[in-house]
Structure 1
């Protein structure tokens, strides 16, 4: 008959596997369970808190083929930071079609759930502003980082009571413009206005409020920041873009483009560079991409020619 110690050791539920290696202290028997590796003779803890490198995911709808449990990551682009819940529509968790009575019940529950998510005016304003920012950044082709920073800036503006008496969408558009400037990926006010429902003047005014009240560290915008955008729009060669950047750097050293529209200066430099590299992009094509007049391109081109000549 087995002794009591042997009985308890044999039927220990925590024991998963027995390692035949000996203890470094007493040369005793070493056992590994779900939590730690210990010596059964002297009690030395050789290893503990082992890292489980497997996924900690589970999806109850389909446990056999999809073991995902976690949802989308937290994000500032949504008012509930992405951890809110949504009520389904026509099918239950098993994929079965819901009855007509159940669907009517879910309609009522969905309506009350939507109201409960935004139970204050501040929450409703935030939802509208963040939706506008997501829509505008998507229309402008901006990245997720720009979108999240613009949403965080909108939250800051709301916390500083800058929305009172002002248009929510105008503040949202101003946030997008400001964040583009902060990341040195500027977009002109005209481009922001094309994807916004607000007028150009209201967006300018809202940006002025943000810049003044929040003291944004917005760097000055030069022609070089607009050059990649214009070069990409006209599909210019890399050599042409590099040459245009060199021209703008020389113009900046001699203050040739100071006080001028940076988009026009970048367009003029790209046109001159295309002539030097033999690509010969038309003035009208560059002017359309830069959203300036062809006359502006010609004027900046002539100004930059003086830089090349000297």
Structure 2
């Protein structure tokens, strides 16, 4: 043992078994990260994720492995969830659909893993996610659709006017509200974008978009 005392055959055998288990766990942990790191780099490149976000995603993923949260979950599922969590920690409004489409992992599995990370991992790392408002998604969609700042400002004003007037957004996806405001704004600015184009970008159905347009249309008339 540590004091130099000879171990009895019984305890020596037990010690050897524990040492073997420890080596196995270490090897398993290292093997997991050996596979995960290039996969993370691939996803980072394809999604265009900044280095600080990728570094935090790796920290999050490493913690999931240390806490043995990998049981029944694939490496890519946990990596995708770690990336999604890191993006939200950094306040970057990327959707789960964007990540799962690139990673080719079912969204339901990634969201389930993300919720686990939210409860079990982020507090341990002193990380907190930022919750995105519809206005944040307006900025994202406006930029990706290459619309003017005028259109962006109108869309934001519509959302704010709706909120001030008592519009109940509880239970409604902020992406859908943002998409509807952008659609209405693009019409007002004569920078027309189709519902199909906007719903595809926002990862919401055209039915949802039409419903949110109907909800917000009345407030567009109140915008200066």
Which is strand-richer, 1 or 2? 1
String of CA shifts for 1:70-94, please: whole Å, max 9, x gaps. xxxxxxxxxxxxxxxxxxxxxxxxx
Answer yes or no: is 1:294 the counterpart of 2:206: yes
Quick one: which of 274, 278, 285 aligns to 2:197? Answer: 285
Structure (1 or 2) with the larger CA radius of gyration: 1
RMSD: 2.0
Aligned residues: 192
- Correspondences of 1:236-255 after superposition (within 5 Å): 236-253=147-164, 254-255=166-167
Quick one: which of 175, 180, 191 aligns to 1:268? Answer: 180
Quick one: which of 99, 104, 120 aligns to 1:213? Answer: 120
Distance in 1 (alpha carbons) for counterparts of 2:117 and 2:200: 30
Answer yes or no: is 1:226 the counterpart of 2:133: no
- Correspondences of 1:91-240 after superposition (within 5 Å): 120-214=27-121, 215=123, 217-240=128-151
Answer yes or no: is 1:257 the counterpart of 2:164: no
Which is helix-richer, 1 or 2? 2
Unaligned stretches of 5+ in structure 2?
A: 1-25
The list of structure 1 runs, each at least 4 consecutive aligned residues, that deviate by more than 6 angstroms after superposition, is none
* C-alpha displacement of 1:124: 1.4
Greater mean deviation of Cα atoms: 141-150 or 221-230: 221-230
Unaligned stretches of 5+ in structure 1?
A: 1-118
* C-alpha displacement of 1:165: 4.2
Q: Work out which structure has the larger RCO, using CA pairs closer than 8 Å and 6 or more positions apart in sequence.
A: 2
* C-alpha displacement of 1:206: 0.9
Distance in 1 (alpha carbons) for counterparts of 2:28 and 2:197: 47
Distance in 1 (alpha carbons) for counterparts of 2:101 and 2:72: 24
Relative to structure 1, is the Cα distance of residues 227 and 148 closer, same or farther in structure 2, using a 3 angstrom cutoff?
A: same
Distance in 2 (alpha carbons) for counterparts of 1:257 and 1:137: 33
TM-score (norm 2): 0.77
Q: Could you tell me whether the CA contact under 8 Å between 2:78 and 2:113 is conserved in 1?
A: yes
Aligned-partner SS, 2:103:
coil
